[in-house]
Structures are given as structure tokens and as C-alpha cells.
Structure 1
Amino acid sequence: MSFDTQVPAVPRLEIRNMVRQFDGRTVVDDVSMTIQAGQVTCLLGPSGCGKSTTLRMIAGVEMQDSGEIYVDGKLICDTVFRVPPERREIGLMFQDFALFPHLSVADNVAFGLKGPKAEKRARVEELLRKVDLIRYIDEFPHQLSGGEQQRVALARALAPRPRIMLMDEPFSGLDNRLRDGIRDETLALLKEEDTAVLLVTHEPEEAMRMADEIALMRDGKIVQRGAPYNVYTRPRDKAAVAFFSDINILEARVEGALADTPFGQFLAPGVPDGTDVEIVFRPQHVKLDFDRGGKGPLPTPAAGVAARGVVERARFLGNESLVEFRMDFDGSVLRATVPNVFVPEAGRVMWLTVRRDRCFVFPA
């Protein structure tokens, strides 16, 4: 009898229990993660949460206080043993492209290459064709646009065929019109090279667009990891919801596994009676109905009870409209977003309902 057992692939990059302290303050706190070849993981979090410090330790330009780093299953760094940065086969890309101004595009890309001159030239030309810059091979960085310089920096980082690419906010210096296209081109090229990528960003949209996996970081810890869809739709706490979008909050108390609110009851399974909770939902999950002689829509299991609000302000944002309501039940302000153009006048009465399957209940 034979059993078809699949052995898990050895991660291209693995970090275990990384800790870094500065002046007695822990800035990276027991961080562990794995990244497979060809996988893009985004380390996402607010400024100052330890993302860039984690990257610098993996690159070898900063030493951890404890923890281990493995590449293809081999130890490259702990607190005793350390492979020098230049021998780790790790590429680096930063917000500052750091191109050498006195070197041509070709010489910038070839800077980290070794071997015969003809082989180096062939690799440079191959990469410049991939990033559509072969026509600028003999130009200098100051003759290129910001987007073109970014692509030269990418080609230079990929030239030595690194097994891992570390990217620290590499697109933040580009304007919005360029950014999306260059991100997509960069991602396609990294996938083609089968490079494991760890991208640091504080922009949720960038993480959602580029990542196979998101590692959400806060106060030096990774608080949640998973596919972008799962991190967005199954957040572990209120802060995780708020990091990806604006939020509305209802306060309630649990009795009999139910939280009673002006929008009706919300299920709170496993929450002890008497617990104060916050019901969190995003503006895009608020449904609006017009007032009909002082009445709103009838209650439904999916949307609960309608609550009355008065428009305070509405504005069109380009692909959606944001409407702010002063709610009758407690005078609080709730926000709703509506696709396309919807700009009701201030003072208009409307009725709001909230999709139950898009709400999160957390202890207050």
C-alpha cells in the first residue's frame, strides 16, 4: 500500500522569534514568518511599528537581539553566527532609488554583478528589456523620470538573481498615476524571476493590490496574518478594521448572547452577559432608504431595524459619495458611502440599515 503524502516546501525565507530593542524599548517583539519562493508578503502597519527594522535585520545591516533567520532552510543569522549582508543573496529596494548619478543606466544595473564582461552585459540588456528601458541603456539617472529611475533600481536589484527581495516603501515617491502601473509591472517581473518578496508598506491599498499574504504589524508584533481577503473580512480587532477603512461604531451591552442597539439586535456568541461591546462596520455596508411619511423600511433578518438620521453633509469623491448623518437615537454621526454620485441636501431625513454579515462585534 502506498500513501501519496506531499512534503511541505522549505520556505525561501523564514524568520523565527525576532526581537530588537533600542534603549530598553522593544521595537520588534517576537516576530516570526515564512515566505515561499515566488510569494509576495506585505508587512503592513503604521509608521514606527517596527516594519523597517525587521527588514534591516533580514538584510543583515542590523543585528537582532534574539531570533534566527533562515534562507532555503539554512541558518544565515542568529545572535552568534552571521552571514555577511553581501553573501545573503538578498536584493534591496527602497523609497530612495539610490542610483549612482555618475554611472550610466547599464553600469548602475551591472554594479552588483560578477563574471565575464559579456555575461554581465547580456544580463543587463535582458533586464532592461523586461522593464522596457533598453533604449536608455547609455543614459544617466538624471535624464530619466522618477518612474524610469524606479525601474532601473528594480533591474539593478534583480540583476544578481537574488533569492529574496526586500522592498521598503519603494513606490511612495511616485505620483498616483504612475504608481499602479509600475507596481503591477514590478510584481509581474518578481513573479517571473520566482523571487520571494517581503514588501513593507503603510498603505492598505498597496498591500491588497500586491500581496499573496498580509502580515499586519502593530507595536512591534504581527497581530494578524493571512490572505488579503481574510485579513480584510475577518479582522481580529477594531484597530485591524480601522486600518483598512473608515469605520462606524455602535456601543451596546450583551445580554443572552445578544447586543441590543437602535439597529436591532446583533449576535454576540460566547460573550458573557453584562459585557460592553463595540459593533464595528464600514461605511460601504450602510444601506440608505428614503423617508416615506415618517416611516422607513420594514425590519429584515439580513439588515435588522432601520434607524432614522438627518443628512449633515454629503460630497462626491470621484467614484463614490460620502454622506454623513446625525442619528436621532443619540445624536452621533454615522458615515455611509454610496457608489457613483449621490449628494442629498443637508437636513434631508433618511433611514439607515446595516448588513449583519458585515458587522464585527468586539469587547469594548
Structure 2
Amino acid sequence: MNPSDLLGKAVLSETIPRLELRDVCRDYEGARVVSDLTLALMPGEVTCLLGPSGCGKSTTLRIAAGVEAPTHGEVRIAGRKVADPSRSEPPEGRSVGLMFQDFALFPHLDVAGNVAFGLTCGKAEKAARVSELLARVGLAGYDAKYPHQLSGGEQQRVALARALAPRPAIMLMDEPFSGLDNRLRDEIRDETLDILRDEGTAVLLVTHEPDEAMRMADKIALMRRGRIVQVGAPYTIYTNPVDREAAAFFSDVNVVHGVVKDRQTETPFGLFLTPGLVDGADVEIVFRPQHCRLDFDRQEAPVRPTVEHGVPARGRVARARFMGNQSLVELAMDHDGSILKAVIPGVFMPREGTPLVLSLRRDHAHVFPCVNQSRVADPWERHVEQAAE
């Protein structure tokens, strides 16, 4: 069945969101697990709901699907309200496709029977749709096989074909690729998204893996403790995180602490502007290991500060590891003994104890207020304060 049969002409508009969650909350036994969640999906757009296990991602997906009702807020499909606290249309009334990590194929049905299960059209039309989809997912000629005769990747393709068969306006996917090995996962994932985009389907995909979200999504909704904390394109989310926790979710980060004075913060790596923060506020300078530069500590020709990399700070190698196409070097910094990490392309394996100087890309560093403002100043800060006195 075409989605327009269920949703009317509104679903055909490219300007109306296929799926909207407006101020959605969900409570369980008095505990709020989804809070004030607002999200919109446009036709042909892949949105990844990304966050750690237990943050409310799957609950949000079930509310969108109609498996659960919101405690507060509403769900709209193509502008039409399908759920609020007083009523909730069932999944079959929403033109949504569902894909889960366990595939959920019917073992007593062959491949053709599984794909055709949700179709209500005539026999000839049903057979044509099944044949079309099996060809699209690379399983032409598999009609009579049963799930137990298929590999994991083939089962995944059958599950995709079955979900696509009714031409859903929206596809909801709960970590559907997690059961596949890495090589097969990349192949199946890319093929699946190509098909969904070709169909103009709006996709909401739940994952806890940042790499998967970065690879798949047109838009990422970063979720934490039941709330969406940041929404944007993968590049934006990665390069402009909303806070330290958001930055750390995508990769390792280094953190240097400081205290605001006259709208700036002094650190071992030079001054950082901190406008909008009051004097005495604790701040965190956050930067990724891949945005660091290492140089040997040459006393006769010291590394000089630059506009791009700021002031270099000295440390000694605590550990160095080769990671395949890059090296990870950990330094114990002279100014406070803290461990900072640098990722260097290729092979770079200095011995433990080797003195090096570390500098960072200032344009890739982020300044955030420290969450715990009662934090005790570190040795560097005490050194700065004593020098000022």
C-alpha cells in the first residue's frame, strides 16, 4: 500500500516533516525516561538517534512506532497527529517500517512469504513487489529459501525487503546492523541506506556507536539521560560540541583546567579567551588527541609559540602505542603531572621518559564552563595565583 493511501496528499510534500515528536515525555513507575524530546524527520533524510545505552533511545523509537504512548507531548506523521497521552494509533495505522537487530523473520515462511507478509494487495501485485525488492537487495532467486538456510547478511536483506514492501513513509531502525561482523556491516549498511534514500523514506535509526552515526546520518540527534542535547549534521556535532561530554562521546579528549580572569584563562598552552564567564569561574579547555603536535625538546632550539598552535608545554613520554595507521603517545606533563594524549599519523614510538613538547590547534580547542564549580584548582592554577600575588 502506498503511504499516500494512509496519510493523504500531505505525505507527498517535501516541506512537511514525515515524522515529528513534539515535547514528548515518557514515564515509567514515576521515573521519567524521555523528557521534553522534540525532533523532526524530513523525506529522504537519515536521522541517527545517538547516545549511550539506557538513555531512552529505544523508548523514543517505540513511541514513534506506536508501540508505546507518550506520557506528555504528541507524535505527528505528515502533519497528522497520531499520538498524545489520550490516544495512540497502532503501528499499522502509521505507515512505518520497523527493523530490529534480531531481524525477526518468520521461520515457517520462505523468503517470499516473509517479504510479502505485510502486503494487502492482490496476488499478482504482491508477487511483482516481492520480486522487485528481492532483486534490489541482491536476493533474486531466493524466493523459496527459508531463514535458516541464509547467512546473517542475507537475513538482514530479507528483513529490509519485508520492511520496504508496503512502501512505508518512515523507517524506524533499532541498531539493525549490530549482529553483523564489521566488514559485512559496512556493506549491508551502505546498501540499505542507498535503497531507503532512493525510496524517499525518512529514516530514524537508533545507535550507540558514534562511528556508525557519523557514517550514516544526514543529521544526528545526540541523546543523554532522556533528553536530546544537540542536533545537527555530523560535521557540526563533531566540530562544535555543546559541552565536554558531547565532545568525549565521539573520541578521546584532553582536558586542561583553568580559572577565568579578565575574560580570559591562562593555561600552560597560553591564554584562551573566555568571554561571557565571570572572573573566578572554573573552565575546561577541551581538545582532541588528533589536534595535537609533538616536537622533540631541543634546548638549543626551543619550539616557539605560534598563532595556530599557541604555547608549547613540556612533558615526558608515559607510553607510546602503534595503532595500525597512527601512533598514540601519552605524555605526563611537567606542569601538573596530568596525562595528555596525542595521535600522530604513521609510526612514532618514542621511548618512555623521552622529553617532548606538546602544542595544540587552538582553532580546534573548546572552552566550556566546568560542571562542578567547586572543583579544587590544580597545581598549575595554584602556580598562576601565587605568581600573581
- Shorter-chain TM-score bucket reads over 0.9
Residues 97-137 of structure 1 show CA distances to partners (whole Å, capped at 9, x for unaligned) of 01111211111111111111111111111111111011322
Matched, 1:11 2:17: yes
Residues 202-229 of structure 1 show CA distances to partners (whole Å, capped at 9, x for unaligned) of 0111111111111111111111111111
Q: Does structure 2 conserve the Cα–Cα contact (< 8 Å) formed by 1:290 and 1:351?
A: yes
Cα shift at 1:267:
1.3
1:216-235 mapped onto 2 (5 Å cutoff): 216-235=222-241
Moved more, 288-297 or 39-48: 288-297
Cα shift at 1:294:
6.3
What is the match of residue 105 of structure 1? 111
1:131/1:8 CA distance change after superposition, 3 Å: closer
For 2:87, what is the secondary structure of its paired residue? coil
Q: Does structure 1 conserve the Cα–Cα contact (< 8 Å) formed by 2:328 and 2:344?
A: yes
Taking only aligned residues, the RMSD between alpha carbons, in angstroms, comes to 1.3
**Identity within the alignment, %:** 63
Residues in 2 aligned to 1:342 and 1:332: alpha-carbon distance in whole angstroms = 21
Matched, 1:196 2:202: yes
Residues in 2 aligned to 1:158 and 1:205: alpha-carbon distance in whole angstroms = 25
Residues in 1 aligned to 2:72 and 2:354: alpha-carbon distance in whole angstroms = 60
What is the match of residue 4 of structure 1? none
Residue type of the alignment partner of 2:122: P
1:223-262 mapped onto 2 (5 Å cutoff): 223-262=229-268
Residue type of the alignment partner of 1:11: P
For 2:221, what is the secondary structure of its paired residue? strand
What is the match of residue 334 of structure 1? 340
Cα shift at 1:80:
2.1
Residues in 2 aligned to 1:195 and 1:79: alpha-carbon distance in whole angstroms = 27
Runs (5+) with no aligned partner, structure 2 = 1-12, 371-389
Of residues 124, 141, 154, the one that matches 1:148 is 154
For 1:43, what is the secondary structure of its paired residue? strand
- TM-score normalised over the length of structure 2: 0.90
What is the match of residue 319 of structure 1? 325
Residue type of the alignment partner of 1:34: A
For 1:314, what is the secondary structure of its paired residue? strand
- TM-score normalised over the length of structure 1: 0.96
Cα shift at 1:51:
0.5
Q: Does structure 2 conserve the Cα–Cα contact (< 8 Å) formed by 1:14 and 1:69?
A: yes
For 1:135, what is the secondary structure of its paired residue? coil
Q: Does structure 1 conserve the Cα–Cα contact (< 8 Å) formed by 2:175 and 2:207?
A: yes
Matched, 1:77 2:94: no
Matched, 1:68 2:74: yes
Q: Does structure 2 conserve the Cα–Cα contact (< 8 Å) formed by 1:321 and 1:341?
A: yes
Q: Does structure 2 conserve the Cα–Cα contact (< 8 Å) formed by 1:296 and 1:306?
A: no
Residues in 1 aligned to 2:321 and 2:347: alpha-carbon distance in whole angstroms = 9
Matched, 1:178 2:184: yes
Residues 168-190 of structure 1 show CA distances to partners (whole Å, capped at 9, x for unaligned) of 01111111111111111011000
Matched, 1:21 2:34: no
Cα shift at 1:59:
0.7
Cα shift at 1:347:
1.7
1:294/1:124 CA distance change after superposition, 3 Å: farther
Cα shift at 1:140:
1.0
Residues in 2 aligned to 1:101 and 1:341: alpha-carbon distance in whole angstroms = 50
Moved more, 84-93 or 185-194: 84-93
Residue type of the alignment partner of 1:289: D
Residues in 2 aligned to 1:264 and 1:84: alpha-carbon distance in whole angstroms = 59
Q: Does structure 2 conserve the Cα–Cα contact (< 8 Å) formed by 1:303 and 1:354?
A: yes
Q: Does structure 1 conserve the Cα–Cα contact (< 8 Å) formed by 2:14 and 2:43?
A: no
Residues 276-321 of structure 1 show CA distances to partners (whole Å, capped at 9, x for unaligned) of 1111111001111122236531001111111111111111112221
Q: Does structure 2 conserve the Cα–Cα contact (< 8 Å) formed by 1:254 and 1:276?
A: yes
Q: Does structure 2 conserve the Cα–Cα contact (< 8 Å) formed by 1:289 and 1:296?
A: no
Of residues 307, 314, 319, the one that matches 1:301 is 307
Residues in 2 aligned to 1:193 and 1:74: alpha-carbon distance in whole angstroms = 21
Moved more, 81-90 or 258-267: 81-90
Residues in 2 aligned to 1:318 and 1:56: alpha-carbon distance in whole angstroms = 40
Of residues 273, 281, 297, the one that matches 1:275 is 281
Residues in 2 aligned to 1:242 and 1:28: alpha-carbon distance in whole angstroms = 22
Runs (5+) with no aligned partner, structure 1 = 1-6
Cα shift at 1:261:
0.8
Residue type of the alignment partner of 1:120: K
Q: How many pairs were matched up?
A: 358
Q: Does structure 1 conserve the Cα–Cα contact (< 8 Å) formed by 2:69 and 2:87?
A: no
Q: Does structure 2 conserve the Cα–Cα contact (< 8 Å) formed by 1:296 and 1:351?
A: no
Residues 132-172 of structure 1 show CA distances to partners (whole Å, capped at 9, x for unaligned) of 01132211111111111111101110001000000001111
Residue type of the alignment partner of 2:290: Q
Residue type of the alignment partner of 1:73: G
